[in-house]
Structure 1
Amino acid sequence: MEARWLSVGPVQENTWIARQDGSDKALLIDPGDEPEKLLQALADLGTTPEAILITHCHFDHVGAVKAMAEATKAPVYCPAGEVFMLEDINSFAFPGLTFENYTPEHTVKDGDKLHLAGFEIDVIGTPGHSPDHVTYSIPADKAIFSGDVLFQGSIGRTDLPGCDHATLMASIQKLLDTLPDETGVLPGHMEPTTLGRERRSNPFLNELARP
């Protein structure tokens, strides 16, 4: 898998473009802002999204969904329990920021399996940072697009409406219990990491059971 990220918007969210090496079909994950920048990156790579995948519907992850869906004609896959947020983005955005709402073509939930852009993708329910957050796992490449669940040395915040710390920690525990340590974590903010690195060194995981 070839994956690269562009940090966009006021809180530097990571929008990911992933494809099989050299493919003209890609996945676009969490287009948060700056659609012109994202479109230019796709053009530079010579690829087009076959699908737009959303991990969760906080404004910084979905602010450019409408623009990118209309420009690329790619269908949008949204966590079923957060469609209401995508359809009313500005009610959940920081004051002074304005984005365009969108109704997704598809919804996803824990346990779904997707076949898109040459990838087999497992949808893993990972709520806590948001009500119906999901993680997209690509087992063949030992990689997850984890949104705002787990970061390098940190975890997703749980002081927003619909967040819950205990639920988030249970979601992280599920990832650690079911995926190998070498799994690459391709997050919604900051640098990539691995599950093993975070298991060993992330201070926020001290409360979790460890082998």
Structure 2
Amino acid sequence: MDIVTFPLGHMQTNCYVVSNGREAVAVDPGGDPAPLIDHLEAKGLTLTAILNTHLHFDHTGGNKALSEATGAPIMANDADAYLLETWLGRGGDMGLPPIDPYEWKNLGPGDTILAGVPCSVFHTPGHSPGSLTFYFPDAGAALVGDLIFYRSIGRTDFPGGDLDTLKRSVRERIFTLPPETRLLSGHGPETSVADEQNHNPFVGGF
């Protein structure tokens, strides 16, 4: 398996391309997907799905363009559908342009196959009601969106956020993974389960 990071959009949201053989999925294309499309073409990869950890605009800005370029369906959790009626989902605030509307399908929690390999989809609300985490055990990696960051956690002051819920998601879904599991966040550097258990001032157990 291979996981490549592309910081996209005005907020440099980490978009991840997870590939195995010739099959790939993209997670959170937050801006112009041109670099990602170039990567897919250079590696001869077929994109089979576009996954959103949540439906905040900085994670979905490239959804429509990427889907049109590749034919891949867009998937997210329907608990975040209400966000598309607000600036948090549509963009167009804070001096940023609105994003192009897109069609998407509901994705619920459970075990599935993505990019041809096993993936456990966790419902990890707190940053938003429909936040998802994508755990690829074969890669020893969890793509956590804005749930948890290096030494920090996601914002919970937006509508639909809840601090206690977020902490519970981290402790019950993330900190129960193997300690060496890589945590690939929506912004900033990667970290690990063990590192955040020992050093995160918001949810760590130190």
TM-score by length of 2: 0.91
Equivalent pairs: percent with the same residue? 36
Do 2:144 and 2:185's aligned partners in 1 also have CA atoms closer than 8 Å?
Answer: yes
How many residue pairs end up in the alignment?
203
2:14 corresponds to 1:14: yes
Q: Deviations over 1:122-143 (max 9, x none)?
A: 1101101011101011122221
**Residue in 2 aligned with 1:180?**
178
Alpha-carbon separation, structure 2, partners of 1:116 and 1:205: 29
SS at match of 1:205: coil
**Residue in 1 aligned with 2:132?**
134
Unaligned runs of 5+ in 2: none
CA shift at 1:45, angstroms?
Answer: 2.6
The letter of the residue matching 2:35 is: K
Alpha-carbon separation, structure 2, partners of 1:181 and 1:42: 31
Do 2:32 and 2:65's aligned partners in 1 also have CA atoms closer than 8 Å?
Answer: no
CA shift at 1:91, angstroms?
Answer: 5.7
Do 1:89 and 1:101's aligned partners in 2 also have CA atoms closer than 8 Å?
Answer: no
**Residue in 2 aligned with 1:151?**
149
Counterpart pick for 2:112 among 100, 111, 114: 114
Q: Residues 5 and 192 of structure 1: is their aligned pair in 2 closer, same or farther, counting only changes over 3 Å? A: same
Q: Deviations over 1:105-163 (max 9, x none)?
A: x31223x2221221111110110101110101112222111000111111111111111
Alpha-carbon separation, structure 2, partners of 1:199 and 1:39: 36
The letter of the residue matching 1:39 is: I
Q: Deviations over 1:157-187 (max 9, x none)?
A: 1111111111111111112442111111111
Alpha-carbon separation, structure 2, partners of 1:175 and 1:131: 15
Alpha-carbon separation, structure 2, partners of 1:43 and 1:74: 14
Counterpart pick for 1:60 among 58, 61, 68: 58
**Residue in 2 aligned with 1:102?**
102
Counterpart pick for 2:159 among 158, 161, 166: 161
SS at match of 2:133: strand
Higher mean Cα deviation, 36-45 or 144-153? 36-45
Do 1:176 and 1:199's aligned partners in 2 also have CA atoms closer than 8 Å?
Answer: no
Root-mean-square deviation over aligned CA pairs? 1.8
Q: Residues 176 and 145 of structure 1: is their aligned pair in 2 closer, same or farther, counting only changes over 3 Å? A: closer
Unaligned runs of 5+ in 1: none
Alpha-carbon separation, structure 2, partners of 1:91 and 1:203: 27
Alpha-carbon separation, structure 2, partners of 1:175 and 1:30: 20
Q: Residues 176 and 31 of structure 1: is their aligned pair in 2 closer, same or farther, counting only changes over 3 Å? A: closer
